[in-house]
Amino acid sequence: MYLADEAWPDLEAYFESETLAIVPLGSTEQHGPHLPLATDHLIAEAFATEVAERTGYLRTPTVTIGVSPHHRQFPGTAWVDPPAFRDYVESFVRNLTYHGIDRVVFVNAHGGNVQHLREVGRRLRDDDVAYAIEWMWDESIPDLVDEAFARNGPHAGPKETALIQHLRPELVHDDRFAEARDGGAPNPEESVRVRNGAATFYDAVENSDNGAFGDQTDANAETGAELFDAASDQLEELCEWLAARDWDELRAPERVSREG
């Protein structure tokens, strides 16, 4: 069920019977010379839509702008400052709690959002109003992702390329795969700037001239479909698990005492 497509009487019926919502979040930022700026939020929305259709749980509109200042040197990248992002997402979830939602799955496809979504989740649980957890597709199937590609990459690499080939092939510049690999960071572990245990970079361009990491020539739509199905299974199981929890199981634990 997609919230924005429904009339309010139908949503009233949902809120009377269910307490879980799926919130997709991503970014609008550079993804190398071969993928659209929409890559992250397209991926997040696709997973959220798939699992909402499988389960009947409510999917909200997608948050398409995230915390992306580390990609700002590339034309078109959009971002919001971290405090604004956290406050916006928290306010949005509190709106959902007004209607009866008390558990949320953040279907997130942008690494720059992770720590901020975790912070929002902590705020909401500490206030005893909602239990919100962050989910990323590749973290749910790490072995499959590792086995699928010889040279993966954390950003604009073959895993994201394969997913967009599967989901929105018309937006992929297949003829630029070699350019993305050769002008970027085909071996991310060798390109990331670390000195004496400290990361000596803040922006993606400091590690990759064109913003891409890994070997994009290894990607294909068939692998993207396999990864999408496997990760969708994981998200479906997570939603069902969370929906089945008693609220007392989700509350913050009491303060520890030596007495017992």
Give the tokens for residue 84.
């604004």
CA–CA separation, 115 and 94 (whole Å): 19
Three-state secondary-structure class, residue 103:
strand
Q: Which domains does the chain have, with CATH numbers?
A: 3-250 (3.40.50.10310)
Give the tokens for residue 175.
């003829």
pTM over 0.75: yes
Q: Measured in whole angstroms, how far is the alpha carbon of residue 8 from the centre of its chain?
A: 28
The pLDDT score that the predictor gives to residue 256 is 87
Q: What is the pLDDT of residues 92-113, one digit of tens each?
A: 999 999 999 999 999 999 999 9
Q: What is the pLDDT of residues 138-189, one digit of tens each?
A: 999 999 999 999 999 999 999 999 999 999 999 999 999 999 999 999 998 8
Q: What are phi and psi of 230, to 5 degrees?
A: -65, -45
CA–CA separation, 87 and 222 (whole Å): 39
The pLDDT score that the predictor gives to residue 260 is 59
